[in-house]
Structure formats: structure tokens, C-alpha cells
Structure 1
Amino acid sequence: MKRERKLVLLSHCILNVNAKVEGIATSKSGITELVTSLMNRGYGIIQLPCVEQDMCGIRRWGQVEEQLNHPRFRKRCEELLEPVVMQVRDFVEHGYTVSAVIGLDGSPSCGVNETCSGEWYGEIGDGHNTMERASTLTSKKEPGVMMAVLKEMFEKVGLDIPFYAADETNPKRDTEILLEKICGTLEN
């Protein structure tokens, strides 16, 4: 049998950029350098769900963590992640290695080390303080909502899997950095 018994979990848009908010994609399809490098090293890939698209659709506006961090959104994260957590648990219990969860910093859902934050809410347009609220947008050093929920769910079932963030702005350099963290080497 040729399988390596190694797995990683990737944020949905690392494999499918089409799920991103319109206007923020940095590639045509996904982070191909990272995906192909992982697969070339024998890693199977589990694609995480895109809870933002599930809840708000493809025509959604960009959001901040404060908009998504409410009970119903967190509950939907749990619902979508439960089969993933059970699948990962099954793999681990049968001798597979799950080496990492890779998210995207800045995302209000999939940020690992930082998430988009601010007083972004209300009506958009003239007379609604849109630009004033937009000026509050920043990054805060906390995970996005879905990544926080996933980590909590892993802890409940006794799984300790490292979380890393991909950087789409320099995929070649970032792939090398992530491979070093995940694989311990850059060699094939």
C-alpha cells in the first residue's frame, strides 16, 4: 500500500479561492504551491468548510470577527465541523498522523494568529457613517471564529493538532516556511 498516512486540514479557500469575498482573491484557484508541495510529500488533504459562504452566500460583504462571533454562527461552525472532527479522530485512532491545520490570517473565520476586527456594522452608504466605521478596521491577535471553535472541538475529544497560517501574499516563500514547520524539511 502506497499511502503515507499523513494528513493536513486546509481552510476551504486555500483549495478553492472562489469561496472568498469578491475582490480579495490573490490567485486564480487557490494556493497551488502549498497544495502541490504537500501532496508531493505524501500528505492527504482534508478541506475545511467555508462557514461564511454557508451562512451568508457568495455575494456577501467582507465581515469582521465581531459580526460573526455570536451564538448562531458558532453553532453553525460546530455543525459543519463535527463530521471533520470525527473523521480526524478516526484517522488518529487508526495510526494516521494529522500534522497541521492551516488557516488564513486576517480572516474573521479562518484566521489563526490574527483576525479582522472593527466597528463594522449597520447600513452602508451616504449618511450612515460608513467611512468612519471603515476607518476602525484593524487586525487583532486572536483566531477567527471557526478556527477558535475547531480548536475547542479538538480539545474536547483529546486531539492536539498544531494550527498554522498561510500567507497568500508570497506563496512561494510561505510554502517553504510552512513545509519547514510541518515536515521539518524542505526536501521531497
Structure 2
Amino acid sequence: MQGIIAVKEAAEAANAQVKIGFAAVLDHFGPVVPEFWESIFQLGRRTFVESLDYVGYNFYADVFEASIDLKTGFCGARAAPLSRKNLKTAHIPESVPIRITENGWPTGKHPFTGEDRSYEHQAKVLEAVIRTVYALRQELNITHYELFGLRDADSSVHDLFHQFGIMRDDYTPKPAFYTFQRLIQELGV
């Protein structure tokens, strides 16, 4: 809390044009940190809330969370209400924008189920998520979307954490790269 407040004060003193915020994980399976949202306001009070230019959400649909419905996108009934409910709990007003600060879907083997995560499915998930975020952008005041990984860490390692990129580690595109490129052209502002 104090870090956000200090950075905001320093930015204003320097007349720096930067946006100050923090990111959290959607907690629709129960809070990762019990009473996290309740404690934000208790610890930082109004000064903290007034120092925020945005709140970020990190989510990985169908990676650590419940499976994604490709017809309706990642959120629909689950994540959208939670995002604003959490902020309300922390006394953060709806005028503070949401940024999707991390999102992605890996290829390779799923470490828990052993299922193969294909390049083609990565492209479908990416499109469903981005279209859902785009459709909810005005309702939820979502101003930014950030892809977690442009390039794989190591395309030869068939593990969840090495193949998040939309390009292989040698920078050759996966199908999701072209999907992302097309969506930027279609939906980008």
C-alpha cells in the first residue's frame, strides 16, 4: 500500500505522466490471500485508493482455473462480476479502470492432466478471451489488455511454463500469432 502511495507522490512531484496501479489474480475459487480485498482499504485507506490510476487482473483461463467455454469466452458469468465486486469490497470506485495485465494460454503438455495443448487450440482460446474482454470493455471499464508471452521460454520443453508464447523460442510464429495480429487490426484502437 505504502509503495503505491509513495510512487504516486513522487510521480506527481516530478510531473511524470505515468499511471500507477497494482495487479491481482481473480479469486473465483476462493481467495488466494484471505481477506485480501477487505484489507486493501483498511491498510491503505482513502490515500491508497486515490493514488490508483488502474487495477490490473492476471488470469489464465483453462490453465490454473476452470475450463474455458470457447463459445462465450473466459468470463461471462464468472470473472466479470467478480472484478467489480472485489474492487467494491476494497472501496475502489468504478471510475478506476481495469487492465488485463497478464493473460495467456500455453502449448505443450498440461502438467496435471497430461493432455496435449495444441497450437491451434491456443489460437482459439486467445481469440475467445480477447473478444470477451473487448465485449466487456465498456461495461467493466477495461482499458488495456496485455498478452503474457510473445515468445516461448523454451519450445523444446513440454511443460506448462515454457510454452506460453504465441511464437516459438526461435521467433517462428504459432497460429495464435496470426490470430493476435488479426485481432489487433480488427479491434485495435
TM-score (ref. length: structure 2): 0.33
Higher relative contact order (CA 8 A, sep 6+): 1
